[in-house]
Amino acid sequence: MTKSVTCTAADNLEDEEIGQLFGQVCGLLDGKACAGIQRNPKTGTYGAYSMCTGRQQLAFALDQYYQLQKKASDACGFGGKAKLQQGSTSSSCSPLIKAAGTAGTGIVTALPTNSQGTGTAHDSTNAPSNSTSKTGNAAASTVPAFNTGLLAVAAYVLFAGLTGAGMILL
């Protein structure tokens, strides 16, 4: 995805600068540039790029801002923290980027594939030689949730009961 964007983060950014740049670009245009990376676990709403790394998300947000500013010459600068590049999309990623939509708010239901047709987002040279898996690294994962709401109610009831018993004993 980062190779497909036209405006991206400079290579030499420190983590603190990445955070500051996120705050800057996501604060512009009512956050429209960051719609594709936002996530809301309470509602189950996730942008198509919300699971990417921070640097990848920043590249998406910077490019979105640049596109929303109609590629204005000063829209991809941010004081030298962003740079223009020739964006190119591989044939295996093109359908996925299309499914994500221009704002990154679409739903991607397929796995990226490499030139061998296996579902992997990485270059096949990094794959183990004995690998026969057809599933990709970008497959959805389920994270177990622990709901503290019921636990908090139970603790409150227990505390109230102990307080009431203590008052009766007095």
Cβ atoms of residues 167 and 160 within 8 Å:
no
Task: Tell me the pLDDT of the chain averaged across its residues.
Answer: 75
Q: What is the pLDDT of residues 77-106, one digit of tens each?
A: 999 999 999 876 666 666 667 777 777 777
More confident residue, 90 or 158: 158
pTM for the full model?
Answer: 0.61
Q: Would you say 114 and 42 are in contact if contact means Cβ atoms under 8 Å apart?
A: no
Q: Using alpha carbons only, what angle is made at residue 110 by residues 86 and 95, rounded to the nearest 5 degrees?
A: 35
- Looking at the DSSP bridge assignments, the partners of residue 30 are none
Q: Is the pLDDT of residue 5 over 60?
A: yes
Nearest to 136, CA basis, from 120, 117, 116: 120
pLDDT surpasses 70 at 48: yes
First-to-final CA distance of the chain: 68
Query: Is pLDDT above 60 for 133?
Result: no
Domain edges within the chain: 7-121
* Rounded-to-integer distance, Cα 139 and Cα 169, Å: 59
- pLDDT digits 0-9 by tens, 8-30: 999 998 888 888 998 898 888 87
Residue 59 has pLDDT above 60, yes or no: yes
Q: Which CATH number fits domain 7-121: 3.30.1560, 1.10.3470, 1.10.357, 1.20.58?
A: 1.20.58
Q: 3-state class of 39 per DSSP?
A: strand
Q: Which tokens hold the place of 119?
A: 């579902």
Tokens of 114: 């490499």
Band (113; pLDDT cuts 50, 70, 90): low
